[in-house]
Amino acid sequence: MRAYDIIEKKKNGEDLTQEEIEFFVNGYLQEDIKDYQMSAFLMAVCLKGMTNQECSFLTSSMLNSGERIDLSRIEGIKVDKHSTGGVGDKTTIILAPLVACFGVKVAKMSGRALGHTGGTVDKLESIDGINLAIEKEKFFKIVNEIGCCVISQTSNLVPADKKIYALRDVTATVESIPLIASSIMSKKLASGSDCILLDVKVGDGAFMKNTKDAIDLSRLMVEIGDSFKKKVVSIITDMNQPLGNAIGNFLEVWEACEVLKGRGPKDLRNISIYLAAHMLNLAEKGSFEKCEKMAKEAIDSGRAFEKLQEMISALGGDISVLLEDEYPNKSKIVYEYLSDFEGYISEMQADKLGKAAMILGAGRQSKEEYIDPYAGIILNKKVGDEIKKGELLAMLYSSSVNRCKEGENILKNAIKISNVKPKAEPLIKAKITNQGVEKYSLL
């Protein structure tokens, strides 16, 4: 077999066999196949696509490239949750303790920030003392005793994806449905949970720019899950504006705690309850309606917040700061961004706001860059809100005035104001299971 022939076959739009795909993935990991050959292959997949069968072969080749976590020592049903990446998406911090209140186990490996989208590991690492790089034994013990634990992905979890993703990132080959599906599903399958809830984001701040593509991606991931005998449900949610009001690591942890304290932004609370209800339903805790009530109760009673504190303490984190009533600001510069216009907020482009938060210090522009855990943005208005000239639009947190000025310039382009009140965009757009697609306009 020759890499050249496989690239040419895909370039001509032909279907590849399991052996050919395995040869390519394994050869790349062993460095027999070079970056330039893999780049050409990825571009051919981007342009010509893959059948569902080929995508399953690609997923299993990647899955077999590393360790598969055996969660059998954790009692009960294990449910995982994955978001395809958004701005201000801190739902994992809310959902893990929330469903753990009902005996559903969450043994979750999370990633770091990618481009303008944040990563749960960077968010949790903004808590003083926390260590997410723990041994498996300790991970299992925390999940068995507390019910949930979020740690950073081990280096041997799907090494093929790690290497291929880094190349996709610099060769404009990220936005391909079969490549995204195999990347996500190989990691989810390697993580070992029984059921998986996928939150596929759609909008300008997401990889999927329209609902049709998000449905196609969801269908493919549900089908891959089925072929590996895993229950997978995919929910399509809006990412045309950030989720909640906070963007930035510690700011997002604080906002997640606000929701668990029964406060916080309505969109974040509602989506968290909706996703938690689906996780509980997947774990056979009752009908969706019953699970929704259970999720609300666990928030309103404070049980879910207590569970989060237990998890953070078990990971060595200092919870005292999370118990304060007011936001305990640690940023050197807090900059008020005031509106120059009046009217209604008609757009808050999530990708640009994510980029602004990154410039303020909340994300990395290169792999080696230091993250300022306290940098970011708090939006004081969201799409549909009315604003007056001179009124506060957003607070910017950073360690430097120059970064704030740069961030402000991006915000000026990202936030649009109109004199007509815009139509509200539904937060939940569709649900995809192995039974089919249900379209909604919810929340």
Of the residues 10, 78, 81, 82, which is catalytic? 82
Amino acid at 422: P
187 in active site = yes
What is the H or E stretch that residue 196 is in? strand 195-202
Rounded to whole angstroms, how far apart are CA atoms 327 and 246? 12
82 in active site = yes
Residues ≥6 apart with Cβ < 8 Å to 20: 1, 6, 9
DSSP letter (8 states) at residue 127 = S
Strand segments (E) across 321-391: 333-338, 343-348, 376-379, 386-387
128 in active site = no
Rounded to whole angstroms, how far apart are CA atoms 184 and 85? 11
Amino acid at 234: S
Query: In this complex, which beta carbon is closest to ligand URA, that of residue 56 or of residue 281?
Result: 56
Report residue 321 as tokens: 């700061």
Q: Kindly state whether residue 87 participates in binding ligand URA, applying the rule CB under 6 A.
A: no
- Number of chain residues interacting with ligand URA (CB under 6 A): 8
Choose which of 42, 184, 257, 395 interacts with ligand URA (CB under 6 A): 184
Of the residues 90, 105, 163, 187, which is catalytic? 187
Choose which of 37, 84, 152, 153 interacts with ligand URA (CB under 6 A): 84
- The sign one gets for the Cα dihedral 270, 275, 280, 281 is positive
Of 136-175, which residues contact ligand URA (CB under 6 A)? 174
Choose which of 180, 243, 371, 417 interacts with ligand URA (CB under 6 A): 180
Rounded to whole angstroms, how far apart are CA atoms 202 and 216? 12
User: By the 8 A CB rule, do 184 and 198 touch?
Assistant: yes
Q: Kindly state whether residue 237 participates in binding ligand URA, applying the rule CB under 6 A.
A: no
Of the residues 108, 168, 307, 355, which is catalytic? 168
Report residue 51 as tokens: 């059948």
Query: In this complex, which beta carbon is closest to ligand URA, that of residue 65 or of residue 331?
Result: 65
Of the residues 126, 183, 186, 331, which is catalytic? 183
- Neighbour count for residue 397 (Cβ, 10 Å): 30
Give SS3 for 289.
Answer: helix
Radius of gyration of the chain (CA): 22
User: By the 8 A CB rule, do 242 and 389 touch?
Assistant: no
User: By the 8 A CB rule, do 194 and 231 touch?
Assistant: yes
- Choose one: 178-186, 245-253, 322-330, 424-432; the region binding ligand URA (CB under 6 A): 178-186
278 in active site = no
Q: Shortest gap between Cβ of 389 and ligand URA (angstroms)? A: 40
Query: In this complex, which beta carbon is closest to ligand URA, that of residue 199 or of residue 408?
Result: 199
Q: Shortest gap between Cβ of 111 and ligand URA (angstroms)? A: 7
- Choose one: 149-157, 177-185, 365-373, 424-432; the region binding ligand URA (CB under 6 A): 177-185
- The sign one gets for the Cα dihedral 323, 109, 440, 416 is positive
- Choose one: 45-53, 89-97, 179-187, 358-366; the region binding ligand URA (CB under 6 A): 179-187
35 in active site = no
Query: In this complex, which beta carbon is closest to ligand URA, that of residue 57 or of residue 207?
Result: 207
Query: In this complex, which beta carbon is closest to ligand URA, that of residue 180 or of residue 411?
Result: 180
State CA 389 to chain mean position distance: 35
User: By the 8 A CB rule, do 311 and 148 touch?
Assistant: yes
Choose which of 7, 21, 60, 85 interacts with ligand URA (CB under 6 A): 85
Q: Shortest gap between Cβ of 207 and ligand URA (angstroms)? A: 6
Rounded to whole angstroms, how far apart are CA atoms 288 and 300? 18
Q: Kindly state whether residue 183 participates in binding ligand URA, applying the rule CB under 6 A.
A: yes
Of 207-236, which residues contact ligand URA (CB under 6 A)? 207
Query: In this complex, which beta carbon is closest to ligand URA, that of residue 74 or of residue 174?
Result: 174
Query: In this complex, which beta carbon is closest to ligand URA, that of residue 184 or of residue 214?
Result: 184
Q: Shortest gap between Cβ of 176 and ligand URA (angstroms)? A: 8
Residues ≥6 apart with Cβ < 8 Å to 367: none
State CA 14 to chain mean position distance: 33
Q: Shortest gap between Cβ of 307 and ligand URA (angstroms)? A: 26
User: Which residues contact ligand URA by CB under 6 A?
Assistant: 84-85, 174, 179-180, 183-184, 207
Which residues are part of the catalytic machinery? 82, 161, 168, 183, 187
